[in-house]
Structure 1
Amino acid sequence: MTEFLETPQGRRIAYNRTPGRGPGVVFLGGLVSDMTGTKAVHLEAWARTQGRAFLRFDYSGHGESSERFEDGCIGDWAEDAQQAITTLTEGPQVLVGSSMGGWISLLMARAIPERITGIVGIAAAPDFTEDSMWADASDAQRAQLIHEGFFMVPSDYSDDGYIVTRRMIEDGRQNLVLRHPLALPFPVRLLHGTADTDVPVAVGLRLMEHATCADLRLTLVKGADHRFSTLDCLELITETIVALPGT
């Protein structure tokens, strides 16, 4: 059953929580996705069969949570995630971050490392506002962003595409993780499909090279796309969680 968490910032975050033993598992979704997606629901069902605590939730401006998507930014969604983790879970957690959720999980590693026992990144997309949205924007789009405060980009996941705002770009620059030291004092597993056209494999390789981590592995799955939601991919996610040391 969906419940709601009021954050100190006044946002209302929708979530579903499954009780169970720890370490718990928290799913962090991607941009313009919600907690009813294939990976989130699959992980919840798996957690129930294993008796594992599990949490899925919608960032503000996503799914059933309050606020408008176009008013949000990485910093807001990281605040939402931190509130959800610290308020709705107990003890150490495995963070499973999909795409943008991979970036959010790395921000959580900075903010609350004591609450994290491991990270599983699925097509993790750190710094994408700078390295993808801004870097790939045309001169016309950049001019529109500066003068009008936004531009639209097409998306395979939305008929209308989605909006990129000046606040999203500027805030993203305050939350970059690949330009500064990134200590990950727990096991990290990165899963990435070779057919991912949204987040290139090179991003995973860059993250692997950049992070300071004693136990970090990158697994490439030939032919898997950005959704990473085939049965084989879903089973690989749960197998990776189970195999994490200390879980």
Structure 2
Amino acid sequence: MSSVQFLTRLPLPRLAYHRISAQNPGVVFLSGFRSTMNGEKALALEEFCRSAERSFVRFDYTGCGSSEGNAVDCLLGDWKNDVLTVLDSLTAGPQIVVGSSMGGWLMLLASLARPEKVAGVVGIATAADYFVTAFKQLPLELRNEAEKTGQYKMPSKYSASGFYPVKYDFIKESEEHCVLQSSIPISCPVRLIHGMKDDIVPWQNSIKVAEQLESDDVDVILRRNGDHRMSRSDDIKLLITVVGDLMHELTKKDVK
């Protein structure tokens, strides 16, 4: 296991991360909403990259896991800034960005902001535009209540309380980062994996992302029995295979 380190970026909170410095293209893993860098997919990818002698970074967003700050006070734009800071400060050369759920949305935003750094992306249950879409599907009275109180209790089976408190400002600010209303000008290879039994982000969301991308090199892989987390051993084997294949393709193209 690599040891945890901290990225200092005054006046912002420090970010906790693990890094392997090796060959490129490397891998940067982006976890989901309120998840940490210690999830099964992140650890499996780290082990794969270590054995393949490839660079790898996993980290915690501001206010999550071992990083400093308060997650409740963060906006999606803050976490996007975390991703860009990690790409700029902790990686050198082309990277494959792997994003799970909300991390898949941030993966797309990072690709748009740093096309010279992102050589390929792999999304798992990519939750592009998710918070905005889910909020708009709520009954009007719940939306009005969230606007009035400034907070929305977002249901989640992954929270001990059954919900995550989400500020109304978080939902509104997330609208600035939506990507699905028009063409997505990403030209690198894209691989999207999605479980068809995902009860949080519908698998059709990955199809919509694929349709909007400008890249000609886009594959969507649907797992009929896959759930949202895609953390079963067979799901992780698939992820490793997809990342490994993309790494091989990019290396053949002499990405330097």
TM-score relative to the length of structure 1: 0.96
- Provide Cα deviations, 1:50-101, integer angstroms capped at 9, x if missing partner: 1111000001121111111111121000000000111001100000000001
- In the TM superposition, 1:12-23 aligns within 5 A as 12-23=14-25
Q: 1:139 maps to which residue? A: 140
Classify 1:106/1:152 alpha carbon distance in 2 versus 1 (closer, same or farther; 3 Å): same
Once residues 209 and 69 of structure 2 are traced to their aligned partners in structure 1, the CA distance between those partners, rounded to angstroms, is 31
Q: Alpha-carbon deviation of 1:187?
A: 0.5
Partner of 1:31: 33
Matched to 1:108, the amino acid is A
Give the equivalent residue in structure 2 for 1:66.
68
Q: Which moved more, 1:148-157 or 1:195-204?
A: 148-157
**Mapped contact 1:61–1:67 kept (Cα < 8 A):** yes
Task: Report how far residue 143 of structure 1 moved.
Answer: 2.1
DSSP-derived class of the 1:169 partner: helix
Q: 2:174 aligned to 172, 175, 178, which one? A: 172
CA distance in 1, matches of 2:92, 2:11: 22
Give the drift of 1:9: 5.3
Work out whether residues 7 and 80 of structure 1, in 8 Å CA contact, stay in contact via their aligned partners in 2.
no
Letter in 1 for 2:201: V
Aligned position for 2:254: none
CA distance in 1, matches of 2:160, 2:118: 36
Corresponding residue for residue 208 of structure 2 = 206
Map of 1:156 onto structure 2: 157
Larger mean Cα displacement after TM superposition, 3-12 or 87-96: 3-12
Query: Partner residue of 1:246?
Result: 250
Measure, in 2, the Cα distance between the counterparts of 1:154 and 1:108.
27
The 1:152/1:64 distance shift into structure 2, 3 A limit, reads: same
Supply the AA of the counterpart residue of 1:12: R
With normalisation by structure 2, the TM-score equals 0.93
- Give the whole-Å Cα distance in 2 for the aligned partners of 1:51 and 1:203: 33
Q: Distance in 2 between matches of 1:40 and 1:206?
A: 25
- In 2: Cα distance, 1:24 partner to 1:104 partner: 18
Aligned positions of 1:88-99 closer than 5 A: 88-99=90-101
User: Which residue identity does 2:41 align to in structure 1?
Assistant: K
Extract unaligned runs of 5+ from structure 1.
none
Whole-Å separation in 1 of the counterparts to 2:160 and 2:112 = 35
SS at match of 1:113: coil
1:141 partner amino acid: L
**Deviation by residue 1:24-59 (Cα, 9 ceiling, x = unmatched):** 100000001000111111111111111111000001
**Counterpart of 1:189 in 2: which secondary structure?**
strand
Among 85, 88, 99, the alignment partner of 1:86 is 88
Q: Distance in 2 between matches of 1:49 and 1:138?
A: 50
